[in-house]
Amino acid sequence: MVWSLHVTIAKKPYLLDSHHETLNNGRFVNVKQLKTMKTMKIMKQKSIRLATAIAVAGSLLIASSALAQDYATGTPTLSNIPIGMTAVYANWATYPPTTISSSPAGLDVVSYGYGSGYYANPTPVPILNVNDVQAVLTLTINTTSPNLGGPATPLIDYNWVGIPFAIGDNAGNFFYGGYSGYLNGGNGPDVVWNSNGTVTETEQLNPAQIAQIQGGSDVIYSINLEFDGAGGVGGSGFYNVTYDSLVLEPVPEPATLALVGLGAVGFLAIRRRK
C-alpha cells in the first residue's frame, strides 16, 4: 500500500497599513503615490481645458479679424473688376498688346513701363467697420507666366518698381503706396516682398478718410491701380502681375496679437496632449 501526503501551504497575507490602499483590481499602491497620480490626472485635464479655451478664443479672434475687413470693391478679391475696368491710361491703354483680364485670384495685368486703371464701383461699397484706419493692397508677381517681352521675368529682376493705388470715398480720392523692390534695401516698413512673389503694401489712411469712416456712413466710390515697371524690371520694364485684393481694416492692437499667438499655442498644446 502506497501512502501519499498532501501538504497545503498557506500564503502569508499582506498586511496593509495606513500608508497603503487596495485598488479595484486587487493590487495595492502607496497612498502618497495614489494621491500624486490623481493630482497629475486632474492637472492634465485642467491643462487640456485651458488649452482648448485658449485655442477657441484665438480662432474666434482670427475669424472676427477677418470679418472686420472692408473690401474696396465689395468682394474678397479684385476678380469682380471687368476686363476693361472703367478707364485705363498710359501704357495700359496705348501699348499693344497689353492684356488685362480677370481670374478667380484677381485682376491680371501684362504690360510694359507705366500704366494705370480706374474702376468705379457700380454701387458704392459701404464701409462697415468704423475702426478702419489702414488700406492693404496685395498683388502677385507672376514669374511663371510669359510677359510681353517673351519669357517670364524672374522675381529678382523686380528690383525697383512703382505700385501706387488710390481709394475714393466721401472725403475724396487719396493715393497711397510707392516704389519698392524685391530684396531692395530701400524698401519702407509699409511694404513686404515675399519670395513666392506676393507683395503687400499696408498704408495708413489719410486723416480725412479716417474721419469719414468714423462717422459711420462712409462708402467707397472708386479705386485706382498703377504699376511703373520702366527700368525697374531687369531693365526691360515688362511685367506680369495679379492685383489680388484691396481691403480696409483696423490696426491690430498688441493685446489682440498676443491672443492670436495664444490661440496658436493652444492648438499646439491640444495636439500634443492627444
Q: What is the pLDDT of residues 53-73, one digit of tens each?
A: 444 444 434 444 445 789 999
Calculate mean pLDDT across residues 191-210.
98
Could you give the angle at the alpha carbon of 208 between the alpha carbons of 72 and 186, nearest 5°?
A: 70
Residues making up the chain, counted from first to last: 274
Winning range, highest mean pLDDT, from 13-22, 73-82, 252-261: 73-82
Cell output for 232: 525697374
pLDDT of residue 173: 98
Dihedral sign of CA atoms 210, 212, 218, 223 in order: negative
Distance of alpha carbon 220 from alpha carbon 72, whole angstroms: 6
Q: Any residues with CB less than 8 A from the CB of 162 and at least 6 apart, and which? A: 114, 177, 178, 179, 226, 227, 228, 229, 232
For residue 120, how far is the Cα from the chain centroid? 27
CA distance 184 to 219: 36
Q: Which of helix, strand or coil describes residue 178?
A: coil
pLDDT at 165 over 70: yes
CB 152 within 8 A of CB 143: yes
Q: What is the mean pLDDT of residues 138-146?
A: 96
**Predicted confidence (pLDDT) at residue 50 exceeds the cutoff of 60:** no
Instruction: At 237, list the grid cell.
Output: 520694364
Percent of the chain topping pLDDT 90: 61
Cis peptide upstream of residue 250 (ω within 30 degrees of 0) = no
257 pLDDT above the threshold of 50 = no
pLDDT at 174 over 90: yes
Binning pLDDT at 50, 70 and 90, where does residue 6 land? very low
Chain-centre distance for alpha carbon 173: 27
**Does residue 168 or residue 84 have the better pLDDT?**
168
Q: What pLDDT is recorded for position 230? A: 80
pLDDT in tens, 176-200: 999 999 999 999 999 999 999 999 9
For 217-254, how does the pLDDT look when each residue is reduced to its tens digit (9 = 90+)?
999 999 999 999 988 898 889 999 999 999 999 998 65
Thinking of the domain 70-249, which architecture would CATH place it in?
A: Sandwich (2.60)
pLDDT for res 204: 98
- Give the pLDDT confidence score for residue 217 in this predicted structure: 96
- CA max distance for the chain: 127
Residue 274 has pLDDT above 60, yes or no: no
Please check the confidence at residue 266 and state whether its pLDDT lies above 70.
Answer: no
pLDDT tens per residue across span 90-135: 999 988 889 999 999 999 999 999 999 999 999 999 999 999 999 9
Give every CB contact of residue 245 below 8 A, 6+ residues apart in sequence.
71, 76, 77, 78, 106, 136, 137, 138
